[in-house]
Structure 1
Amino acid sequence: MKLIYSIKFIAINAFFLIFTFLNTSYAATVQDFLRRGSRYMSNEHYAEALRIYEKGIQLYPNEAHLNLQAGFASWELGDYSEAKFFF
């Protein structure tokens, strides 16, 4: 009986650890997309930056910062209608 409770305890703790990790990784992942895109933007590689931002938007469509940066990248590429979509 103790073994069953120990296994349940381990399973519950593992679930909470994974859940906590997934919740904290959200912000880091968005930040990773923003950082990578920003590096491309600063080197004037706007198409690559836009590709990175669009990947982030696919995962986090409600993230305003990704949409804003994608708009700036589109603007720099001269695609004003796409920039307007992102803004």
Structure 2
Amino acid sequence: MIKHLDLGDTNFARSRKLKQLIDAGEIKFGGYMKSKIYGLLKCPAGKRMKMGNRIFFISEEEALQAGYRPCSRCMKEAYLK
């Protein structure tokens, strides 16, 4: 689990580090800390959240173990289960 704000001191540094982690396969899902929802990085709902509320996961298992539930918008099948 990686909090967005922990990726660097500036927005530029955070963006660079985030891209590196995504390219390396170390981040595959994003989550919203306030409501404990996780989803795909390309989800339109996830892109609107503030950096301070954003968290990243390497796998669905990691998100589920942290108590997060799937997004109803981008992960419809997992959400319905």
Q: Which structure would you say has the larger Rg?
A: 1
The structure carrying a bigger helix percent of its residues is: 1
Same fold (TM over 0.5): no
Scaled to the shorter chain, the TM-score interval is 0.3 to 0.5
TM-score of the aligned structures, taking structure 1 as reference length: 0.31
TM-score of the aligned structures, taking structure 2 as reference length: 0.33
